[in-house]
Amino acid sequence: MPRATFTFPAGFLWGTATAAHQVEGNNLNNDWWAWEQQEGRILNGDRSGRASDWWAGRWREDFDRAHETYQNAHRLSVEWSRIQPEPDRWDENALDRYRQMLLGLKERNMMAMVTLHHFTNPLWLVEMGGWENEAVVDLFAAYSRRVVQALGSHCNFWITINEPNVLMTGGYVGGDFPPGKKDLKTGLKVLSNLLKGHAAAYQAIHEVQSEAQVGVAHHWRGFLPANKNPFTFHKKNLYDKVFNESFPQALVTGKFDAALLKENVPQAKNTQDFMGLNYYTRELIRFELGKRTEKLSERPFPKDAELSESGTLANDPEGFKACIKWARQFGKPIYITENGVDDSKDDFRRKYLLQHLHAMWHMINHNIPIKGYFHWTLVDNFEWERGWTQKFGLWGLDPATQLRTRRKSADLYSEVCRTNSITSETVEKYCPEVYNRIYPV
Ligand code: BGC
């Protein structure tokens, strides 16, 4: 049986990623909380409630979990509606609580990466039209400036916006995120405002902190043509252009080109110090006459695809390689800011995790400068419109009792983080099913 150790570069960052609304609990003052109160918005009528109870202090025990399993970094987000509960008021207590969290990471020798915007908006902003109203650009920059002034002595690693493309499609194409519209034209305007907001925040952050490293967590999704129909190719190219390309290309060129909306945004040119990548899956794109949108229940994947528990993600490490190869063109250091899978039983996750880490190792050995990996996620959390139905955690969570249960994947990931490598012993011990895939004969 072939044996080998795949070693990662010295100083590689290993962590998990979380987002405020999904873990803190009681985020009463944002659009998602309001959305959860509306009937039919969230699967099972679930609500974020106490979430993983971080605001009440459970971040401490969860950071311990991360630290004890040899993670040396953590990506978390701060909640705009807590820090700026009203347009003319900063909440120093909220900032202080985040300061404690960042200190908590420091004490555990974990590097912090902070996201300023992860899907949620303060209610006062929503009343003004949210990201549809260009006034948001300056407001977001002012908020970012305030956060960096307050927390900059504990962090210099910032993500302005998480997945602008998902925020846009969720809120304006699928309609399963607030504001629940199906209006692509407005959605593209929102995407362009997110770009302007990012650019303004990028400048503001660098004004406050010259050594800051600033990026975006970009969701890259692989789109594969399902057939040879030229309309299918056309549709695939359109998805690539709008979803995968428009935002990150504008960060280089200052030209926003989302097919149906083109704009010069010169202030966005050269506004990323690193590339953050969120990768989960690839999927098939198919054009069918008379059928406008795919339903979640008919998610298109190749026939032989291994699908996650909910059937919404495929175990497709080749797609991860394609994503990383694509990102190489930007010539920046790359951080995998999210990657993971829903699996309450935790057998699928172990396969997915090992194969994706192995794919990432391959890409590093093609001289692609990947500097860190943040698994989604540490402890099960509130998964947006899917409520509590999807379990992405290395630890399981019962939100009612707040009881955490360690999954085998936590041990597997711990071995990788501890040794900074994938060893044949680790694969054999935690996931012998994929041994032949990782060590083919
Ligand atoms: C989002 C996370 C989310 C994860 C898994 C990503 O698109 O950034 O907030 O929980 O996917 O669904």
258 C-alpha vs ligand 1 centroid, how far in Å?
A: 23
Tokens read off for 436: 């032949």
What end-to-end distance do the CA atoms of the chain give, in Å?
7
| Residue 308 CB less than 6 A away from ligand 1 | no
| Residue 342 CB less than 6 A away from ligand 1 | no
Cβ–Cβ under 8 Å, residues 333 and 324 = no
10-42 pLDDT per residue, tens:
999 999 999 999 999 999 999 999 999 999 999
Return the pLDDT at 196.
99
394 C-alpha vs ligand 1 centroid, how far in Å?
A: 15
* Cα separation, 187 vs 132, whole angstroms: 8
Mean pLDDT across the stretch 330-342? Answer: 99
- Tokens 């998480």 label which residue? 162
Residue 407 half-sphere exposure toward CB, CA atoms < 13 A: 23
Return the pLDDT at 340.
99
Shortest CA distance to 271 belongs to which of 197, 189, 370, 190? 197
- Residue type present at position 102: L
382 C-alpha vs ligand 1 centroid, how far in Å?
A: 10
Residues linked to residue 13 through DSSP beta bridges, in sequence order: 372
Return the pLDDT at 50.
98
- Tokens 């593209």 label which residue? 188
Mean pLDDT across the stretch 270-289? Answer: 94
Mutate to test the pocket of ligand 1, among 120, 160, 383 (most ligand atoms within 8 A of CB): 383
Mutate to test the pocket of ligand 1, among 338, 341, 380 (most ligand atoms within 8 A of CB): 338
- Residue type present at position 46: D
pLDDT interval class at 294 (50, 70, 90): low
- Tokens 């993500």 label which residue? 159
Return the pLDDT at 281.
98
Q: Which atom of ligand 1 is nearest to the CA of 383?
A: 10
* pLDDT of 361 over the 80 cut: yes
Q: Which atom of ligand 1 is nearest to the CA of 377?
A: 10
pLDDT interval class at 297 (50, 70, 90): very low
- Tokens 């975006």 label which residue? 216
Return the pLDDT at 288.
76
Return the pLDDT at 300.
86
Return the pLDDT at 289.
72
Cβ–Cβ under 8 Å, residues 360 and 2 = no
Return the pLDDT at 291.
63
| Residue 346 CB less than 6 A away from ligand 1 | no
Return the pLDDT at 296.
40
99-153 pLDDT per residue, tens:
999 999 999 999 999 999 999 999 999 999 999 999 999 999 999 999 999 999 9
426 C-alpha vs ligand 1 centroid, how far in Å?
A: 27
Residue nearest to atom 12 of ligand 1 (CA): 383
Report the mean per-residue pLDDT for the chain. Answer: 97
231-242 pLDDT per residue, tens:
999 999 999 999
pLDDT interval class at 293 (50, 70, 90): low
Q: Which atom of ligand 1 is nearest to the CA of 340?
A: 5
* Cα separation, 87 vs 82, whole angstroms: 11
Residue nearest to atom 5 of ligand 1 (CA): 383
| Residue 19 CB less than 6 A away from ligand 1 | yes
| Residue 236 CB less than 6 A away from ligand 1 | no
Cβ–Cβ under 8 Å, residues 18 and 378 = yes
Q: How far is CA 5 from the centre of its chain?
A: 29
For residue 92, how many other CB atoms are within 10 A of its CB?
11
* Cα separation, 59 vs 246, whole angstroms: 36
pTM: 0.97
Residue nearest to atom 10 of ligand 1 (CA): 383
| Residue 383 CB less than 6 A away from ligand 1 | yes
| Residue 376 CB less than 6 A away from ligand 1 | yes
Residues whose CB falls within 8 Å of the CB of residue 309, separated by 6 or more in sequence, listed in order: 342, 343, 344, 345, 348, 390, 391
Return the pLDDT at 299.
59
Cβ–Cβ under 8 Å, residues 280 and 375 = no
Mean pLDDT across the stretch 281-302? Answer: 73
pLDDT interval class at 290 (50, 70, 90): low
Q: Which atom of ligand 1 is nearest to the CA of 390?
A: 12
